[in-house]
Amino acid sequence: MIIGLTGSIASGKSTVAKMLEGYDLPIVDADLVARQVVEPGTETLAKIAEAFGEGVIKKDGTMDREKVGSIIFHEPAKRKMLNDIIHPAIRVEMIRQKEEYLKQGAPHVIMDIPLLFESKLQHFVEKILVVSVKEKVQLERLMKRNLLSEEEAKARIASQLPISVKEKGADAVIYNNGDIETTAQQLEAILKNWAII
């Protein structure tokens, strides 16, 4: 079974991903793939240099994230240009990794995709597991974790689909408002219900 794991910023999705690793389930991590596709020497990085100029590549051959970030931050058209280069590459690599795990005989693969709904990637997976959190808890965690003001944290949360919308699109929801044991128990129950463990 291919399971899509998603949540919202500061919902605790990474914590649940670590728990899934504990069950020896292979994980394709979209954030990790996003870094892999722009490593030195990749076709994607060459396309970025072509689109934004050689100045966005550091001396060591890596992408200058700060420079690219400052370019796309103020220009939506440039942001779209970057996404049009990176997103297809990420999708291709994620599918490649998933297929590799299946070829090795893995019966289940977790696709850890933070923006699963925003990127409309539901068709990538058979079941969707959403890690949810109350807005108040989410706000507190995000402010503490990223040292943000309440205003900054609210803006980041608002940039994503509301968690209630994600819950509606889920096959199962983990409510990550309490302690880690409660979250682990919910995960275990879902995995048993889906006949994964």
Q: Give the integer Cα–Cα distance in Å for 45 and 37.
A: 7
Lookup result for tokens 């991903």 = 17
Question: What is each CA distance from 152 to 79, 136, 149, 181, 194, in whole angstroms?
Answer: 21, 14, 5, 30, 38
Apex 183 CA angle, 174 and 25, nearest 5:
80
**DSSP code for 195:** T
Query: 120: which DSSP letter?
Result: T
Taking alpha carbons only, the member of 128, 131, 108, 99 closest to residue 116 is 128
Known binding site: residues?
10-15
6 beta partners:
130
Residue ranges at the known binding site for ATP: 10-15
String of DSSP letters for 143-162? HHHHT--HHHHHHHHHTS--
